[in-house]
Amino acid sequence: MTYTIKILEKAERELAAVPAKDRKRIALHIDELVDNPYPSGAQQLKGAFKNHFRIRIGDYRIIYQIENKVLTIVIVRIGHRREVYRKL
C-alpha cells in the first residue's frame, strides 16, 4: 500500500525556513513515508496528541498524522526540536 502525502501550509512554511542541507534530509524522510508510514525510530506522541507521530532527523522533527482509511499522511509540523512541540 502506498500512502498519499499532504503537507499543511504551516508545515510548508516551516520547511522553507529550515537550512537547505537539512531541508534535503527532511524531504527524503517525507518521501519514505509514502511506502512505510511507521519507519524505525518513529514514535507516537502521548497525551492530547496521541494520534500524531514524530520522526527525528538530527535536531529537526516531523510531526504527522496517519489516516489509514484514506491512505493519507498529513504532515502537521516541521521544525527544530526545541520549538516544534510548543504550538502543536
Antiparallel, parallel or unpaired: β 43-44 and 52-57: antiparallel
Q: What is the pLDDT along the chain (88 residues), one digit of tens a residue?
A: 799 999 999 999 999 999 999 999 999 999 999 999 999 999 999 988 899 999 999 999 999 999 999 999 999 999 999 999 887 7
- CATH superfamily, domain 4-80, is RelE-like (3.30.2310.20)
Position 88 scores a pLDDT of 73
Under DSSP, is residue 56 helix (H, G, I), strand (E, B) or coil? strand
Beta carbons within 8 Å of 9's beta carbon, 6+ residues apart: none
Position 11 scores a pLDDT of 95
Under DSSP, is residue 43 helix (H, G, I), strand (E, B) or coil? strand
Residue ranges per structural domain of the chain? 4-80
pTM to 2 decimal places: 0.92
Position 1 scores a pLDDT of 79
Position 87 scores a pLDDT of 74
